[in-house]
Structure 1
Amino acid sequence: MKIVSSCLIGCKCRYDNKSALHPEVEKLVQNREAVPVCPEQLGGLPTPRFPAEIVGGDGFDVLDGTARVIDSHGNDVTQSFIDGAYRTLNVAQTIKATTAILKKNSPSCGSNVIYDGSFSGNKKQGVGVTVALLLRNGLIVSDEEGVPDAPC
C-alpha cells in the first residue's frame, strides 16, 4: 500500500487552489493501491493559501527545530507543516504503507528538491517536512516523476 499526494489525483488542494493531476497516480487510488493525503490541509492550512518555503534548511532541519516554514507574507507556518507531517505519518502507519509518491518541490512533499526559501523561484537539494518524517520512519518516498505516464 502507498500514500500519494492528493493534488496528484486531481484534488484542488495546492496552495493556489489547483491540482497537479497525474493519471497514473490517480489510477493507483482508483485500484485501491494507494490513499491520498494532503499534509498541508491535514496540518490545518486553508486552500487557497499563501505559498510557503523552508527557510534555513530543509524538512529534517524543520523537524529538528533549526529551520522554519514561512509563507510569502512572512507568517510562520512551521507548526502547521509539522502537524500535517505527523498526521500524514499516522495515515501511512494506519494503512501499513511502505511507500509514498508525493508532489515534487513542495515544502511538505518534495523528495529531492525544494524551493530555497527566498521566494525567487530558485531551488535547492533537500526534502520537505513530511518527506523527512516519513523517511525517518522507514518509508520509501519518491515524486511523480518516477511514475510512468499512461501509454497513448
Structure 2
Amino acid sequence: MILVSGCLCGINCKYDGNNNLNEKILELLRQGKAIPVCPEQLGGQATPREAHEIVNGDGAMVLDGKCRVLGRDVSDDVTGEFIKGAEETLNIARELKIDTAILKARSPSCGRGIIYDGTFSGGKKTGNGVTAELLIRNNIKIYTEDELDKFFEENNI
C-alpha cells in the first residue's frame, strides 16, 4: 500500500476547493495500491480555506518549534493544524504499515525538497513540508508527482 496526497487522486481537498488530479496516481488508487490522505483536512482545516505557507523556515523547523505556518494575514496561524495533520497522516501510515508515499510537490504540508517560500509570491525554497518531514523522520520514502517515473522504476510497479 502507498500513501498518496488526496488531491492527486482527484479529491477536491486543495485550499481553493479544487484538486491536482494525476491519472497515474488515480490508477494506483483504482488498483487498490494506494490510500489517499489530506494532512490539512486531517489537521482540522476546512475546504476551501485560505492559502498557507511556512514562513522563515521549512517543515523541519515547524516540527522543531522554530517557525510557523501562516496565511497572508500573519494572525492566521495554522501551525498546530499542520502538525496535527502530519501526526494523523503518520498514524495512518503506521497502522497500515506503509513505507512509501507520493505527495504533492511544493506544498507546505506535502512538498519534498522544494516548497513555497513563505512570501505568497510563487517563489520557492529548499525544504520539506510539515507532513513530508515527519514521514521522512519516520523512515517513509517520499516521492512527489514530479518523480513518478522514478517511483514506478524503483518500486517495480
The TM-score range, normalised by the shorter chain, is: over 0.9
**C-alpha distance in 2, partners of 1:8/1:33?**
14
Counterpart Cα distance in 2 of 1:140 and 1:40? 20
CA positional deviation for 1:109: 0.2
Match of 1:64 in 2: 64
Moved >4 Å (runs of 4+): none
- 2:80 maps to 79
TM-score (structure 1 length as normaliser): 0.95
Q: Secondary structure at the match of 2:108?
A: coil
CA distance in 1, matches of 2:118, 2:73: 12
Helix, strand or coil at the partner of 1:134: helix
- Equivalent residues in 2 for 1:1-152 (5 A)? 1-74=1-74, 75-148=76-149
On the 8 A contact 1:50/1:73 being kept in 2, the answer is: no
- Segments of structure 1 that go 5 or more residues without pairing to the other structure are none
Aligned-residue Cα RMSD (Å) equals: 0.8
Give, in angstroms, the shift of residue 73 of structure 1. Answer: 2.5
Task: Identify the residue that residue 152 of structure 2 maps to in structure 1.
Answer: none
Task: Please list every run of 5 or more consecutive structure 2 residues that lacks an aligned counterpart in the other structure.
Answer: 150-157
Distance in 2 (CA, whole Å) between partners of 1:15 and 1:72 is 13
The CA deviation at 1:120 is: 1.3
Instruction: Measure the CA separation in 1 of the matches of 2:27 and 2:104.
Output: 16
